[in-house]
Chain A
Amino acid sequence: MGKLNAKPCMSEDINVKKLLTMGTALAGLAFSVAGAMAADIKPAVLYDLGGRFDKSFNEAAYTGAEKFKEDNGVEYRDFEIQNDSQREQALRNFAKRGMSPIVAIGFSQANAVEKVAKEFPDLQFAIVDMVVDLPNVRSILFKEQEGSYVVGMLAAMASETGKVGFVGGMDIPLISKFACGYKQGVKSVNADAEIFENMTGTTGAAWNDPVKGGELAKSQFDRGADVVYHAAGGTGIGVLQAAADAGKLGIGVDSNQNALHPGSVLTSMLKRVDIAVYQAFEDAQNDTWSSGFEVLGLKEGGVDWALDDHNAELVNDEMKAAVELASQKIISGEIEVHDYMSDQSCPF
């Protein structure tokens, strides 16, 4: 399994001096300005409610788009929505300008993508985390359960109390998919382990409520948990903070969050939205665009776990070996990780 290096956080090198001299450009403009188009594609990214810098899901998409820009010199546009009604507007805006491919991040964009993609059949669309069955839409899905299984194993091995926690964002099947894979992974190591599972809320606001996330994590610590895994976007910042404050371990999600609290983040379940975005841009540029489904799991490198300098001391060789072995078994099909979405229930 390929180990991934920590991606540098764009945000952390801001110093005071720079701060004071900044102050124009991005301001209230959510559109980042597109300069001259180097190639003939005009890609665009539409983020979900968590926002571009949620240090997690959306930020992974941003990282992918930025990397493509760096590698190929192709400018892209992006937009952060402030509320649900902006999804369609933003997509249509991109489409009217002839942007293509347009990558929509998040399952909530499905309706909007379906509508707009029908109106602009000549443009290429992609959606992450949801299926939109149209000839010009690429639906990118991830096997989150596989990555979650792996970090679940790590959690169970790192836990001293035999109790671990999970904090989800919005209470939807997708997040239960994370939870279910995680539980299976935990139980595979320690069949008697107790797992606390909490969801932050039932609306989009649940992706961006660090205070509530922190409270949920604290309530799990109080009940004896000592490792908490979050799949909650921006809310997870509070979860990881609470873990660091309490001297417990957190597990990050989507992006590599190990560096947020070095020594307190056991690992991160990587969901390579960045690769998916990069791939979509690249395929469009090379004229190898394909619509339809794309399911990325451990095998395809779509999900993974993060090991870098920040958590090297937390993961010992024994844990590493166990996880590598399990990963191989998952890839070969020997271990089947249950997909919550397949039957809307979790047997664990």
Chain B
Amino acid sequence: MFEVLILTLDSTVRLSTPLLLACLAGLYSERSGVVDIGLEGKMLGAAFGAGAVAYITANAWLGLMAGIAVSVALGLLHGFASITNRGNQIVSGVAINFLAAGLTALLGQTWFQQGGRTPSLPDGGRFKDVVWPFAEQIREVPFIGPLYGELISGHNLLVYSAFLAVPLTWWVLFRSRFGLRLRAVGESPAAVDTAGISVTWLRYRAVIACGILCGFAGAYLSIAQGSGFGVNMTAGKGFIALAALIFAKWRPASAMFACLLFGFLDAVSIRMQGQEIPGIGEIPVQFFQALPYILTVILLAGFIGKAIPPKAAGIPYLKERS
């Protein structure tokens, strides 16, 4: 039983990593007052960029860089439309989603001619699992062994960086001067402006931070968890990350737990499929596939209390009315 639990949690960690990265990305952006529904598109773009470059260069690091570059570029596009030109942030985000979905498939087909997929990555093109010291030696030790050997050791670098990004994000947002200003610009941009700080530049920096994290998320999908890009491989993860963000009331630690919960449900649905449960018998696959969505609805409907977004979220900042 303990073994099963550990293995399910292990799978949870793998599945919640892209959600967590995207969720933290959204956190930066939305805390600064820029609603970002384009997380999905940025992840997809990054996944493609990473997959394509990692295939060509056989270098996972270059792949990651490319993924970040694509994602940041899309982020800047969003910034240009919604910060500089004060366009509607939702519309701009949706546009980015469509752009990424179409462009990745088109470019993938043109360059690789495998129906939009990038070819399987060569060795070195992927982030391999890192086995921590002594993981094998202490595997037999009860409790600690599997906990350390399976759950903590044996993930790839991007998984660890995702979970390290949580305290880092907390520190940046709540302990640094940049974070204070970032939050202020999301609540009351006029006050920040009065203090002589550029609202535009602050928001751009938030959007870039968002792009970088989305780049990690996308790269994780195509060159760490998977091996190569597949058409529409994000499959709605960006939207689930957005739901997790609301769930977590725009706080880093809560965001991590929300993402872990969604990841856990996903892992359970995979693991419980076709297994007998004592006393109940075999539960249909469909039930487990629907479970994450059912729980999301129930939890959102009553259990988390009111989720209040940053006050200025979604509102373009106008310096003065004329």
Q: Which residues of A contact B (CB under 8 A)?
A: 11-12, 14, 16, 19, 22-24, 26-28, 51-54, 80, 171, 196-199, 201-202, 205, 208-212, 214-216, 218-219, 222-223, 234, 237-238, 241, 245, 260
Q: How far is the CA of A52 from the CA of B233 in the complex (A)?
A: 17
Chain B nearest CB from A31 CB (Å) reads 13
Contact of B233 among A196, A198, A211 (CB under 8 A): A211
Instruction: Assess A11 versus B235: contact at CB under 8 Å? Given A27-B106, A202-B286, A241-B226.
Output: no
Can you identify 14 A-B contacts, CB atoms within 8 angstroms? A11-B113, A22-B110, A27-B110, A51-B231, A171-B285, A205-B235, A215-B270, A216-B273, A219-B7, A219-B270, A222-B10, A234-B230, A241-B120, A241-B226
Q: Does B21 contact A (CB under 8 A)?
A: no
- Evaluate contact between A209 and B235: CB separation under 8 angstroms: yes
A231 to chain B minimum Cβ distance, whole angstroms, is 15
- Looking at B114, B271, B286, the one whose CB has the most chain A CB atoms below 10 A away is B114
A199's nearest neighbour on chain B, judged by CB, is: B285
Please give the distance in Å from B52's CB to the nearest CB on chain A. 9
Which chain A positions have C-beta within 8 A of B117? 51, 53, 234
Contact of A80 among B110, B115, B235 (CB under 8 A): B115
Contacts of A202 in B (CB 8 A): 285-286, 289
What CA separation (Å) do A222 and B227 show in the bound complex? 20
Whether A12 and B119, one on each chain, are in contact in the complex, defined by CB atoms closer than 8 angstroms, is yes
| Chain B residues whose CB sits within 8 angstroms of the CB of A22 once the complex forms | 110-111, 113
7 nearest interchain CB pairs? A51-B115, A53-B114, A53-B115, A222-B7, A241-B227, A27-B110, A211-B226
Report chain A residues within 8 Å CB of B273: 198-199, 216
Closest-CB distance, B138 to chain A (whole angstroms): 18
Nearest residue in B to A80 (C-beta to C-beta)? B115
Closest approach, in angstroms, between the C-beta of A323 and any C-beta of chain B? 27
Bound Cα distance from A218 to B270, whole angstroms: 10
* Closest chain B CB from A2 CB (angstroms): 29
Cα A214 to Cα B120 with chains together (Å): 14
CB–CB B225/A197 < 8 A? no
Question: Which residues of the partner chain B approach A245 to less than 8 Å between Cβ atoms?
Answer: 129
Name the residue of chain A whose CB is nearest to the CB of B126: A245
Q: What's the least CB distance linking A195 to chain B, in Å?
A: 10
CB < 8 Å neighbour of A212 from B7, B113, B115, B270: B270
Any chain A CB within 8 A of the CB of B203?
A: no
Q: How far does the Cβ of B44 sit from chain A's closest Cβ, in whole Å? A: 13
Complex alpha-carbon distance, A283 and B284, angstroms: 44
Report which of A14, A211, A260 forms a contact with B112, defined as CB distance below 8 A: A14
Residue of A nearest to B234 (CB): A211
| Structural contact, A197 and B56, CB atoms closer than 8 A | no
A26 and B110 contact, Cβ closer than 8 Å, known pairs A196-B274, A201-B289, A234-B230: yes
A201-B289 Cα distance, complex, nearest whole Å: 8
A223 proximity list for chain B (CB < 8 A): 7
Say if the beta carbon of B15 comes within 8 Å of chain A. Answer: yes
Q: How far is the CB of A99 from chain B (nearest CB, A)?
A: 21
Give the Cβ gap from A220 to chain B, nearest Cβ, in Å.
10
Q: Which residues of A contact B226 (CB under 8 A)?
A: 210-211, 214, 238, 241
- Whether A11 contacts B114 by the Cβ 8 Å rule is yes
Judging by beta carbons under 8 Å apart, are A27 and B119 in contact?
A: no
The answer to the question of B11 belonging to the interface, with a C-beta cut-off of 8 Å to chain A, is: yes
Of the listed residues B56, B113, B129, B235, the one surrounded by the most CB atoms of chain A closer than 10 A to its CB is B113
* Cα of A218 to Cα of B228 in the assembled complex, Å: 18
Q: Would you give the shortest CB distance from A234 to chain B, in whole angstroms?
A: 7
CA distance A205 to B175 in the complex (A): 44
Given contacts A11-B119, A210-B230, A241-B227, A26 and B113 within 8 Å (CB-CB): yes
A266 to B303, CA, bound (A): 50
Within the complex, the shortest CB–CB distance from B167 to chain A, in Å, comes to 27
* Cα distance A196–B227 in the bound complex, in angstroms: 24
**CB <8 Å contact, A26 and B109:** yes
A198-B115 Cα distance, complex, nearest whole Å: 26
List residues of B (88-123) whose CB comes within 8 Å of A's CBs.
Answer: 106, 109-117, 119-120
Chain A residues whose CB sits within 8 angstroms of the CB of B251 once the complex forms = none
Partner of A14, one of B116, B119, B233, B271: B119
| A219 interface neighbour in B11, B56, B109, Cβ under 8 Å | B11
* Cβ distance B319 to chain A, nearest Cβ, rounded Å: 42
Q: A214 contacts B115, CB within 8 Å?
A: no
Q: Which residues of A contact B106 (CB under 8 A)?
A: 27-28
